[in-house]
Amino acid sequence: MSELLNQLNEAQQLAVKNIDGPVMVIAGAGSGKTRVLTYRIAYMLSKGVDPFNVLALTFTNKAAREMKERITALIGNEARNVWMGTFHSIFARILRVEGHFLGYPSSFTIYDNDDSKNLIKNILRDLSLDPKLYVPGAVLSRISSSKSNLVSAEEYSQNAEIQEQDRISNRPRLGEVFLHYKTRCFRAAAMDFDDLLYNTNLLLRDFPEVLFKYQQKFKYILVDEYQDTNYAQYLIVKKLAARNENLCVVGDDAQSIYAFRGANIQNILNFRKDYSDSKTFKLEQNYRSTKVIVNAANSVIARNKEQIKKEVWTDNDEGFPIRIIKASSDVDEGSKIADSIFETKMNHQLQNSDFAILYRTNAQSRAIEESLRRMNIPYRIYGGLSFYKRKEIKDLLAYFRLVVNPRDDEAFNRIINYPARGIGKTTLEKIELASLQYKISLFETASSPAHYLQGINAGTLSRIEEFSNMIAGFHHQVTRMNAYELGTKIARQSTLLKELASDDTDEGVMRLQNTEELLNALKDFSEKEQTLFPNEETGELTATEVTRTLDLFLQEISLLTDADNDDEDDNNKVVLMTIHAAKGLEFPYVYVAGMEENLFPSMMAINTRSEIEEERRLFYVALTRAEKQVTLSYAETRYRWGNMTMNEPSRFLEDIDESFLEQTTRRVSQKEFPGQPIMKKAPVFVKKPLLKSENTDNQAESGPATPPELIQPGVQVEHERFGRGKVISVEGNGPNIKATVFFNAVGQKQLLLKFAKLRLIG
């Protein structure tokens, strides 16, 4: 075993060898956490600890499987007898044996999310509750949160404060639904995922003989990613470890990013209070990243007040400075990221798989995906579907497809009763039979239901006619409205947006954001013939002249949604994922997109210090995924629900010590722009100005730019590159003021004044 320990650094050896008593291992990013857990278990077994007395809890099956394989490679098959797995898998295993104490057979069913939602839908129907108010996903989320905090259905229904919250949210009978849900699950001998934790707690709380049995069995307990445990998990671990207190928790408070799932950072912060005689070992040497990345990440996380202090360091190379890309829009951002990846790959002879693009929300992938496809850079979405393959996107696209081509039977089937409009399975079967009999499309059949369909009541006939008339009305407007106008109209009048907005769960919010992003894509597509894109150096605006309708949009994205011809086993692709999904992974080159206020940090997480600190920890996680280089990007403008919004760079950019930034980008200071307000919280990044000797020949004399609001029709102006000219017209307001100017040397130009920096003359 001494040979094995020689493969560890001094801090790792101490964490491995101290196997008795409570131990907390604070493992900085890239410090070999999994290696320490693996060697610690191997060391215990080599010292004679019975593997059947070891419990190792992880958060993913993959982590458990990899650890068990590594331990087996180190000491042999005895490792297979260690109780190692996820919280849910281990507790399900215990409940299979002990569940009879709670009235469950050993063969109980485990419901997944869809099973639970379907059950809630049936309960809502039985109680005559409106599913638009009691959205099944939102109801399930409320029940899940309660069980994670060990609040029973009975306690929920009797708690005055909770009942008042439900009344305010216009769901006063939610407690009744919870009670029915609990009863129906029990009657079906079923547990959902939350029940696996909740019922294990009941078992250990109410049956001392069961608690004693497993305290005796699990003499040594190890918990991975302890900062991600919720209240129910914390209590189970505390109870099981109470007798022997040979508990080792491993984690990093700086990477606690799952509060929205119920994770409680206080579990790791308070470990030393729970176990006053505990030992703490800090793994501070980073083996993953360059010095620049490690130190930049340190400068960021140092801003947080709630943390366990540590000094992460590395012996790796100094590395590349952190790059910052400023883009005019999210489309421009995607294009610049794709260009950067292509250039870096060519210059350094790299693989596509060396690159990862991380973002705060899944909706951001759309513009990035399109840019990568245009550059023929293969990519894959990690831990999620490609943007155009997500259900909510396919639902809205099905409406678009049917509007453009009413003979599209697949689109018809997908949306005829979504959102629900009272057209059931039996009716759909009759429509399909009539369609086959008369050899016409499903939509044509539905357009004259009284003629083609028999045995359908008047109410259902009316609903079918309403649907077909709605689609027909949209169809007649395909060539009359641009893609965005018609697409938005479809999304609203179909009530699809209303349906998505009614689900306030994290998943529901994400689906609504994705749908918003599709409408943003329509807006961008529709206005290509009239949207004027400024050149940052000259301010000149250019435009295309194509009328872009919904059918043209579908033609364009059909090229993006065709199945790739690449071998599915080919992993040589750029990886796209949310930062949450990236935790635990590493890549040589990492791009973090959308570094803007109200996006990252999220506008929903800036109300309290704890929320901001979690968002900063998320940024820390993003930075520390990189081995060689980090590139951060932000867009000055993004579409939100079809409206162009102006964005400030994220406050987190200011958290990075300037010495770690690429020299071609620097922060603007008040001295450089006297009289101009500079943001206090968020930095602005600009290209390093050219030296006088580098100026081009045709530039005008230098001088302060005139404020845009003073530029009026008829005045004489001077431009750095275009020389002197006369203002013909001015339109817009605020940061979007545009001017048409006739320049003596180059003719008429349209300029965005915030970029053009015109100077009044004469």
Amino acid identity, residue 256? S
Q: CB–CB of 735/728 below 8 Å?
A: no
Indicate if 279 belongs to the active site. no
Q: CB–CB of 108/94 below 8 Å?
A: no
Annotated catalytic residue, options 142, 548, 625, 638? 625
- At 303 the three-state DSSP class reads coil
Annotated catalytic residue, options 224, 253, 369, 516? 224
Instruction: List the structure tokens of 405.
Output: 């081509």
Q: CB–CB of 740/729 below 8 Å?
A: yes
Annotated catalytic residue, options 98, 166, 225, 597? 225
Indicate if 34 belongs to the active site. yes
Q: CB–CB of 509/491 below 8 Å?
A: no
Annotated catalytic residue, options 13, 58, 229, 255? 255
> What is the four-CA torsion angle of 571, 572, 573, 575, rounded to 10 degrees?
60
The whole-angstrom separation of Cα 325 and Cα 385 is 26
> What is the four-CA torsion angle of 649, 652, 653, 656, rounded to 10 degrees?
170
Task: Give the closest residue to 597 by CA, choosing from 557, 555, 646.
Answer: 646
Indicate if 205 belongs to the active site. no
The whole-angstrom separation of Cα 99 and Cα 92 is 9
Q: Residues with Cβ < 8 Å from 160, sequence gap 6 or more? A: none
Instruction: List the structure tokens of 648.
Output: 């400030």
Structure-token match 């406050």, residue found: 651
Residue 313: C-alpha distances to residues 75, 296, 523, 532 (Å):
31, 11, 47, 47
Instruction: List the structure tokens of 45.
Output: 């077994």
The whole-angstrom separation of Cα 214 and Cα 191 is 21
Annotated catalytic residue, options 33, 68, 182, 548? 33
Structure-token match 């973002």, residue found: 359
β-sheet bridge partners, residue 84: 56
103 conformational bin, left if phi > 0, alpha if psi -120 to 50, beta if neither: left
- At 357 the three-state DSSP class reads strand
β-sheet bridge partners, residue 640: 643
Burial class (CB in 10 A: 0-12, 13-18, 19+), 239: middle
Task: Give the closest residue to 517 by CA, choosing from 581, 599, 406.
Answer: 599
Chain-centroid distance of CA 49 in Å reads 42
The whole-angstrom separation of Cα 88 and Cα 196 is 6
Indicate if 625 belongs to the active site. yes
Indicate if 720 belongs to the active site. no
Q: CB–CB of 152/78 below 8 Å?
A: no
Instruction: List the structure tokens of 535.
Output: 């050149």
Q: Is the N-terminal amide bond of 601 cis, ω within 30° of 0?
A: yes
Indicate if 395 belongs to the active site. no
The whole-angstrom separation of Cα 70 and Cα 485 is 57
| Residues listed for the chain | 762
The whole-angstrom separation of Cα 22 and Cα 493 is 60
Which residue numbers are catalytic? 33-34, 224-225, 255, 625
